[in-house]
Structure formats: C-alpha cells, structure tokens
C-alpha cells in the first residue's frame, strides 16, 4: 500500500471474537458516533488542505477503494443534516449514476422541464447523456474537497430535485399500465426530494459554520 498520507487507508476489520482475543471491546454507540464525525471531518479537511488533484480524485473514488458497505458502516446511520450524513448521500448518488447510468439519465431528462432553476444549478448539459451525468456528479463531489463545499451540496440538492421530478413524471406516464412500478417511482422520488432538501440544509449549516 502506498505511504502517501493523502490516500485514504483501507480500514482493518476485526470480528467480535478477534477483538476479544486481543483484549479489545466493540465500540459503543457514543464511540461509533464520534468515529463517524471524526472520519468525515478528517476526510474533508485532508482534501481541502491538500490542493492536489490526485488527492481529490482518490477521495471522489473512495467507494471504489473501500466498497459501499464500508462507507455505509462509517456514515449511513448519522443524521442526514450532518457532515457524515451529507457525505454518505453524495457517495450514494455517485454510485447510483455509475451503476444505473441509463436509468439516471432517463429520469433526469424527464424532470428537466419541470425544474428549470434546479437544472441550471445542477449544471448538466442537455441532453443529459449517461457519461456526462457521471462526470458532473463526480465534479460535484470533487467540489466538497477542492471548491466551495456549500455550492457542491447545493448542486447535489438540485440534481436530486430534477431526478425526483423526473420520477414523478415517469410514474404519471406509467400509472395505467404499471401501477406498482408507478407507486415505486413516486415513493423513491419523494425520498430523493427529501434527500435534496437535507443537502440544501447542510449547505446552509456549512456556511454558518455549524455542519459537523
């Protein structure tokens, strides 16, 4: 493994039995919470202090190195309106656009005409080709580490708003032929809209110096 201090290190995993064998104990809820917030702060601080495109690229690709379950174990249980909660949601958005690129493109395209302002803030060209969508989401996440973090959160929030509107439109179009699928789209669209609202709130908290 590289000794580069800017590269996130792969965490070492121990089973409960292994921990006990080494005289250790499983972390309690308070310790888990502290670790979640500390790792988020260190990650963001490292990226913003480095001023190094290679470090930013590594941080954007964190899930590629560690895997989504590892990142989930760190941050997914934290409140949406917290730094680890916001980072978790940004990485999930990135994973979705990479794993379901065609779906993401279709849903985003369906929402554009209902969300002019949000579409402009998200900064995605028309038509929203899958590859372009992936690049923009990567740039949004990169902004957490090498730009204005609040702006990055607002762009991600806008992206969520456009996709949520697209899901609502696609649900309306398919309701007669596939009511169950339409219901799933409506429900997931509402959840994504809520995620966008949380990210926008995180942007306000960051500007106020209160996002931790």
Residue 51 included in any domain:
yes
- Encode the chain (212 residues) as per-residue pLDDT tens digits: 333 434 333 333 434 444 344 444 445 666 778 889 999 999 999 999 998 999 999 999 999 999 999 999 999 999 999 999 999 999 999 999 999 999 999 999 999 999 999 999 999 999 899 999 999 999 999 999 999 999 999 999 999 999 999 999 999 999 999 999 999 999 999 999 999 999 999 999 999 999 99
Query: For position 33, what pLDDT does the model report?
Result: 87
Residue 3 included in any domain:
no
Location of structure tokens 């190094």:
52
Integer Cα distance of 154 and 106 in angstroms: 22
Closest to 94 measured CA to CA, from 43, 39, 151, 141: 141
Residue 27 included in any domain:
yes
Residue 212 included in any domain:
no
- Write the CA distances from 80 to 7, 70, 95, 151, 200, integer angstroms: 26, 18, 18, 17, 11
Query: For position 181, what pLDDT does the model report?
Result: 93
Query: For position 28, what pLDDT does the model report?
Result: 61
Integer Cα distance of 62 and 11 in angstroms: 12
Residue 57 included in any domain:
yes
Residue 125 included in any domain:
yes
- Write the CA distances from 32 to 45, 69, 91, integer angstroms: 20, 16, 20
End-to-end CA distance of the chain: 30
Q: How many domains does the chain have?
A: 1
Segments forming the whole domain that contains residue 135: 16-207
Tally Cβ neighbours within 10 Å of residue 177: 8
Residue 9 included in any domain:
no
- What size, in residues, is the chain? 212
Residue 21 included in any domain:
yes
């Amino acid at each position: 493994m590289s000794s580069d201090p800017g590269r996130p290190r792969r965490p070492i995993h121990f089973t409960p039995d292994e921990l006990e064998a080494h005289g250790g104990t499983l972390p309690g809820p308070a310790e888990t919470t502290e670790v979640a917030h500390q790792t988020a702060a260190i990650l963001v601080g490292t990226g913003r202090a480095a001023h190094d495109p290679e470090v930013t690229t590594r941080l954007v690709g964190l899930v590629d190195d560690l895997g989504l379950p590892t990142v989930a174990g760190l941050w997914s249980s934290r409140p949406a309106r917290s730094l680890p909660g916001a980072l978790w949601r940004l990485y999930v958005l990135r994973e979705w656009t990479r794993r379901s690129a065609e779906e993401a493109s279709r849903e985003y395209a369906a929402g554009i005409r209902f969300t002019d302002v949000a579409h402009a803030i998200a900064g995605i060209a028309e038509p929203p080709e899958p590859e372009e969508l992936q690049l923009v989401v990567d740039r949004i996440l990169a902004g957490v580490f090498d730009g204005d973090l609040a702006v990055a959160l607002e762009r991600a929030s806008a992206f969520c708003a456009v996709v949520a509107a697209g899901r609502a439109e696609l649900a309306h179009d398919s309701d007669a032929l596939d009511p169950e699928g339409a219901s799933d789209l409506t429900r997931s669209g509402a959840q994504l809209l809520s995620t966008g609202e949380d990210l926008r709130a995180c942007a306000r908290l960051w500007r106020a110096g209160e996002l931790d």
